[in-house]
Structure 1
């Protein structure tokens, strides 16, 4: 391989790049759409099993945690053996989990189907793997928009799937509706051929060009964990997970608690997804023009203000939909700048694994958001205290991100030993 091959990925034809982005965004649309629409079935699962909202929330919360836990490992495997194979296994797990969930009658059974199978599959075909695959084919100055496009795919999936879930439930019942929703994930199968490949070629090219051996996964992880800005990024992403999981899991319940029709619940989830498309694309455009840490701080500030205004506003269908729209703009808008900072600091070679570690932090927060939301409502009959915590965490995250340094770490590779 010649030194000139280091530019192979950035010179890939625009047509090929758009095909890759379409495959990654489409896959994320299906996996995220299925995963984030599960909250629609929370009340039906409770009525069917009689387990109570708190116990069912535990299964959903475990799914948040497991979705994050699978991503560092899925990313590391994809970096080595190929993205397509990892996505294929993930899709099969999503389908299996959603087909089995309506058959479960215990908390442990729901944890296994919702929390391990379906959530684990969505993690394997999730953002760390998909965005790393996209980043391999896009030059550094275009990565922000590329991650924004892929992220918008996940948002479109939620916008698309929530009304479908409501409609299917009305016509064939909640159980069949959930199962068909899972089967829809198989529409992503053609993407595994487009996204096949790993980071070995780019790592080898970089080694030849620089005369240094790329870091192993363990060395790259150690370097990242000893970089303060990476750790601050992880803390901020944990807060994001709390916000996102609480809304995705409990927004339908919040709507129901306010005495509104189920259609408003589906509409609110759809608004989250629809406006996150705009938020993701706008953030993808913005990361190449402003400091990514400042953009992240802005997102958390908007969340804090939006929740505070929602608490004091009258709870009407219009207010609920406007609130969902505002939160939708910020819902996954943290992903492009977070992925961009990882790529900027550490390069694309181990990006899937390093971004996957941040996704794990995100989902630790997600576990807390989904679980605490159910526990607080069970204990108090209200979600107010969760909203107060939500505001505090948003303000803290806004301040934390201002301390991040966007400069490259001093050590990124090892000398090549001849």
Structure 2
């Protein structure tokens, strides 16, 4: 194969990072729209939570299909389609006056868009164009870009909501996401057809092989927990702080929630980058186990100790360091076991489990709150799940299967 036509690592990291920054950054701020949108339309929190939950479920369910299409036909057309859907979804959310249209725009359109503009597709490009010895590190960089997007976009989205209102803020975000279109062209793989000739295993055969692999199933279980925890916190942290304002009035200001979510994004940059570095030198399964156990400890301390702006910021910083650091490690294990021939599709499969967890975290956060008047039960579920994820990652075997293509 003529490798001279491969995308350079710098090019992938810059433009792949920009794609993930925009896609992940915008979605991380959706929790800030929860209260203004539900209040303006007279909806319960369960309605907004259901939209975000559906968004995550569609993202996960369709991601393996989008990944398989990107592996088969190249990532460019997939990313362009995703960019258009993202723009239409944000416009639809802004203009919706009923729950159904809002759910179609924010749940269906943006859920589909995220399958084409986030990690699985970008990691497929990395896998095909980056040498194995730099793969985990480069995946960590791409994940850090998504973290930077959260750090950058959350204060910006709060500022847009405060200055223009939720509706116009969504329209401005739609304009910003149009930058995904030229970014996709910068990630076009000119040598893709040559790369595609490697290996004769079909996508269906690869999927069947993965699901019969015990380590892959354990990765799925752990990734479910990851999705549950991070999406519950992203969507429900701001309402949780507001609910406790009568007992802890210092956390009532929207600035506290906005700062906390931004700190998650800031420290996530360091966490995901560190995961990429450590994943080159230490067993990735042990790093994953440590991340999940540390999350449970941080959550327990946050809900059981007295609440203040400072305790919220410390919690956000700790969770931020652990937030998406699972992504490069999980995907690197998939690439190490199965190779990169079907990496976008296999990453999509394991990501589906993540998004099932995301659906549960977003929806049951709102559902159990509406039924009990408190988020306490959901926090406790998140703690217990973290302990489960700690245990199931320990026995994972990181050995490559015999026929894996590891270009």
Give TM-score, length-normalised by structure 2: 0.94
206, 213, 225: which is aligned to 1:220? 206
Q: Name the CA distance, whole Å, in 2 between partners of 1:86 and 1:223.
A: 25
Q: Name the CA distance, whole Å, in 2 between partners of 1:411 and 1:190.
A: 37
Q: CA offset at residue 318 of structure 1?
A: 1.0
Tell me whether 1:78 sits opposite 2:70 in the alignment: yes
Q: CA offset at residue 190 of structure 1?
A: 2.4
The 8 Å contact of residues 68 and 345 in structure 2, kept in 1 or not, is answered as: yes
Tell me whether 1:201 sits opposite 2:194 in the alignment: yes
Q: CA RMSD in A?
A: 1.6
Q: CA offset at residue 188 of structure 1?
A: 2.4
Q: CA offset at residue 72 of structure 1?
A: 0.9
- In structure 1, the partner of 2:269 is 277
Q: Spell out the pairing of 1:334-413 with structure 2 (5 A cutoff).
A: 334-412=326-404
- In structure 1, the partner of 2:27 is 35
Q: CA offset at residue 255 of structure 1?
A: 2.0
SS in 1 for 2:306: coil
Tell me whether 1:169 sits opposite 2:161 in the alignment: yes
Tell me whether 1:22 sits opposite 2:14 in the alignment: yes
Q: Name the CA distance, whole Å, in 2 between partners of 1:203 and 1:101.
A: 38
Tell me whether 1:238 sits opposite 2:230 in the alignment: no
Tell me whether 1:310 sits opposite 2:296 in the alignment: no
Q: Deviations over 1:179-205 (max 9, x none)?
A: 21232112222221222238542343x
Q: Deviations over 1:355-396 (max 9, x none)?
A: 001111100000000000001111122111011100100000
Q: Name the CA distance, whole Å, in 2 between partners of 1:317 and 1:182.
A: 32
102, 105, 111: which is aligned to 2:97? 105
The 8 Å contact of residues 158 and 273 in structure 1, kept in 2 or not, is answered as: yes
Tell me whether 1:295 sits opposite 2:281 in the alignment: no
Q: CA offset at residue 317 of structure 1?
A: 0.9
309, 316, 320: which is aligned to 1:324? 316
Q: Spell out the pairing of 1:153-192 with structure 2 (5 A cutoff).
A: 153-192=145-184
The 8 Å contact of residues 92 and 101 in structure 2, kept in 1 or not, is answered as: no
The 8 Å contact of residues 59 and 114 in structure 1, kept in 2 or not, is answered as: yes
Q: Name the CA distance, whole Å, in 2 between partners of 1:321 and 1:255.
A: 12
Tell me whether 1:265 sits opposite 2:277 in the alignment: no
The 8 Å contact of residues 344 and 408 in structure 1, kept in 2 or not, is answered as: yes
The 8 Å contact of residues 228 and 354 in structure 2, kept in 1 or not, is answered as: yes
SS in 2 for 1:136: helix
Of 108-117 and 365-374, the range deviating more from structure 2:
108-117
Q: Deviations over 1:30-85 (max 9, x none)?
A: 00011111110000111111120012211111111111122111111111111111
What number of residue pairs does the alignment pair up? 398
Q: Unmatched 5+ residue regions in structure 1?
A: 207-212, 414-418
Q: CA offset at residue 326 of structure 1?
A: 0.6
Q: CA offset at residue 328 of structure 1?
A: 0.6
Q: Deviations over 1:267-322 (max 9, x none)?
A: 11111111100000000101110000001001001101101111221111111111
Q: CA offset at residue 411 of structure 1?
A: 4.8
List 4+ stretches of structure 1 deviating above 6 A. none
Of 403-412 and 301-310, the range deviating more from structure 2:
403-412
The 8 Å contact of residues 72 and 196 in structure 2, kept in 1 or not, is answered as: no
The 8 Å contact of residues 339 and 400 in structure 2, kept in 1 or not, is answered as: no
Q: CA offset at residue 106 of structure 1?
A: 2.5
- In structure 1, the partner of 2:38 is 46
Of 121-130 and 183-192, the range deviating more from structure 2:
183-192
Q: Name the CA distance, whole Å, in 2 between partners of 1:253 and 1:327.
A: 18
Give TM-score, length-normalised by structure 1: 0.92
